[in-house]
């Protein structure tokens, strides 16, 4: 849907701009000439340059073009708003959160063909990223980057293990070692899923500290579910130019464990802030449509960890 909106913006910008340009170069001078001839024939001596009334289509285009062009540039190259539709990134992001995505974080791309025009950076471990779902590129997904190109990732007993890629600048002994990502128990029962209180842990990915949720009984993360194995059923080696991503709600997220890696070309941008957050909780006897908010969570407005 987001891609269709981008195409619509591009079309409207080109259409209104072209109408304005053609009128300015071709039709406006002819209208002024006709008005001048009419005034001369009528013997007008006012000395004022006649200004004929603009056709409705041209007048509308002149007013709409600057607005649409500004939105197109802002949305395509700087920041784009997204809505969180599911709970796969809880507790970091909740259903009803509206976020801003920094489009230039991982390269400036054209809004139609998504070809990278300028290289500006690459995802870092722990970034929350929006990307085109590899199995359905018209769908936008949001997950957290866990594995970088060349990393070995293991997800075993609901614990993440990482062996970073070795390169010329790395300590060979450190990069060749599989290490568990530290987790610290925080609380239980703040979130409930399938009548079970979820366990909240604090996880540290390099310089990024964030919280994740684990279901006490559900085996959604069991290796038997995985469809994209690496060297083992619960181990993956991240290819060059691709990334391994997970949802923070580890037992309620379809992510790289199930459908594979995210190519660099699919990256949309980095989620940087929540600009508004709505509640949609209501009783079964409520007469309000489900899409109407029941409240605003002002305390959630701000940066994303």
Pair 120, 105: CB distance under 8 Å: yes
187 as an active site residue: the answer is no
> Tokens for 141?
């997904």
Active-site option among 76, 88, 256, 277: 88
Measured CA to CA, the distance from residue 200 to residue 249 in angstroms comes to 9
Pair 129, 148: CB distance under 8 Å: no
CA nearest 236: which of 131, 155, 124?
Answer: 155
> Tokens for 99?
């976020």
Active-site option among 103, 132, 143, 158: 143
88 as an active site residue: the answer is yes
Measured CA to CA, the distance from residue 156 to residue 292 in angstroms comes to 40
Q: Which residues contact 103 (CB under 8 A, 6 or more apart)?
A: 75, 76, 77, 78, 79, 80, 109, 268, 269
Task: Name beta bridge partners: 153.
Answer: 162, 236
Measured CA to CA, the distance from residue 218 to residue 158 in angstroms comes to 11
**Residues acting as catalytic residues:** 88, 143
């Amino acid at each position: 849907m987001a891609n269709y909106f981008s195409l619509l913006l591009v079309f409207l910008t080109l259409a209104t701009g072209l109408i304005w340009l053609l009128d300015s170069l071709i039709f406006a001078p002819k209208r002024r000439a006709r008005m001048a001839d009419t005034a001369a024939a009528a013997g007008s001596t006012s000395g004022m340059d006649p200004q004929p009334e603009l056709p409705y289509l041209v007048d509308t285009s002149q007013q709409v073009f600057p607005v649409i062009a500004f939105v197109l540039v802002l949305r395509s190259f700087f920041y784009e708003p997204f809505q969180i539709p599911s709970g796969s990134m809880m507790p970091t992001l909740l259903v009803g959160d509206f976020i801003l995505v920094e489009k230039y974080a991982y390269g400036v791309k054209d809004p139609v063909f998504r070809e990278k025009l300028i290289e500006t950076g690459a995802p870092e471990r722990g970034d929350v990223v929006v990307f085109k779902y590899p199995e359905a590129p018209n769908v936008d997904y949001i997950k957290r980057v866990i594995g970088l190109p060349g990393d070995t990732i293991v997800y075993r007993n609901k614990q993440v293990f990482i062996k970073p890629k070795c390169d010329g600048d790395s300590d060979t002994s450190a990069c060749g070692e599989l290490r568990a990502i530290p987790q610290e128990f925080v609380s239980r029962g703040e979130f409930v899923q399938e009548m079970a209180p979820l366990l909240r842990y604090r996880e540290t990915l390099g310089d990024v500290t964030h919280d994740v949720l684990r279901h006490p009984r559900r085996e959604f993360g069991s290796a038997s579910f995985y469809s994209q194995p690496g060297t083992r059923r619960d181990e993956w080696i991240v290819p060059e130019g691709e990334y391994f991503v997970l949802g923070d709600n580890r037992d309620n997220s379809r992510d790289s464990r199930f459908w594979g890696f995210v190519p660099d070309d699919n990256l949309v941008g980095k989620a940087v802030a929540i600009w508004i957050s709505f509640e949609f909780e209501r009783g079964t006897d409520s007469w309000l449509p489900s899409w109407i908010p029941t409240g605003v969570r002002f305390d959630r407005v701000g940066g994303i960890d």
